Amino acid sequence: MTRLDVILVGPPGAGKGTQASLLAAREALRHLSTGDLLREAIAAGSELGLRVKGVVEAGHLVPDELVLGLVEERLGDSGLPGVLLDGFPRTLRQAEMLAGAFAARRLEPPHVIEIVVPDDEVVRRLSTRRTCSACGPRPAHEAACGTCGKPLGVRADDRESVVRERLSVYARQTAPLSDWYRAQGCLDVVDGLGSPESIAGRIAAIVDGARGGGAGNR
């Protein structure tokens, strides 16, 4: 199967992580979440983790070069299955640097899918989100992680004041990416309201269109 690379864009709480896991499994893509990579570094207490802990927990963005480095070393070349980027790029500069990394590897530009969810819904979702330190976000009805049994907690950056800061960072620094990718003809937009399965269906239809050489619902 030819390589296909996908970028999922959307505000925090849009369901990017859930949708990325579903799509990566369906399309055999390598799922790269810069948020997960940074949280792993923080949990491990590595040099990188110590450097970014305060920034991540305040809901701000870590420096562009630093996240690009994490992604670039995992991109692979044209012979490998594609990657599914979740939470990267988040600034125009990251998008430009990523475009350069793709061009240097002679890879086709990625397909960008934006998941749209209103701010109020984001705040509602994230302020009630419970997370397992090993397995990530868990369904709201679980008292303990249904996969590994660990107690659930609230992510440091899911407190409401930090969620509002993350939303304002998104509006200022990440939302402009939509127009940038739209101008290049590689953006599709999906409604992020509804069941995870229905949203996955919308995304799958776009990816099937891209695989078939079509333009999805572009």
Catalytic residue among 39, 90, 125, 130: 90
Q: Which of 61, 75, 83, 113 binds ligand AMP (CB under 6 A)?
A: 61
DSSP string, 37-98: HHHHHHHHT-HHHHHHHHHHHTTPPPPHHHHHHHHHTT---TTS--EEEES---SHHHHHHH
Q: Is 5 among the residues that bind ligand AMP (CB under 6 A)? A: no
Q: Is 20 among the residues that bind ligand AMP (CB under 6 A)? A: no
- C-beta neighbour count of 65 within 10 angstroms: 11
Smallest gap from residue 209 Cβ to ligand AMP (A): 26
**Is 90 known to be catalytic?**
yes
Six-digit token string for 151? 């107690």
* Host H or E run for residue 178: helix 176-183
**Is 53 known to be catalytic?**
no
Q: Is 42 among the residues that bind ligand AMP (CB under 6 A)? A: no
Smallest gap from residue 8 Cβ to ligand AMP (A): 10
Q: Is 62 among the residues that bind ligand AMP (CB under 6 A)? A: yes
**Is 182 known to be catalytic?**
no
Q: Is 67 among the residues that bind ligand AMP (CB under 6 A)? A: yes
Six-digit token string for 139? 């369904």
Q: Which of 10, 11, 12, 82 binds ligand AMP (CB under 6 A)?
A: 12
Do residues 155 and 42 make contact, with C-beta atoms less than 8 angstroms apart? no
Q: How far apart are CA 174 and CA 139, in angstroms?
A: 27
Q: How far apart are CA 180 and CA 148, in angstroms?
A: 41
Buried residues in 169-195 as b, exposed as e (16+ CB within 10 A): bbeebbeebbebbeeeebbbbbebeee
Catalytic residue among 53, 125, 130, 166: 166
Stretch that binds ligand AMP, among 59-67, 122-130, 187-195, 199-207 (CB under 6 A): 59-67
Catalytic residue among 3, 129, 159, 218: 129
DSSP at 150: P
Stretch that binds ligand AMP, among 88-96, 102-110, 180-188, 198-206 (CB under 6 A): 88-96
Do residues 98 and 71 make contact, with C-beta atoms less than 8 angstroms apart? yes
What residues from 143 to 202 belong to the interface with ligand AMP (CB under 6 A)?
157, 166
Instruction: Enumerate binding residues for ligand AMP (CB under 6 A).
Output: 12, 34-35, 38, 55-56, 59-62, 67, 87-90, 94, 157, 166
Residues labelled as active-site residues? 16, 90, 129, 155, 166
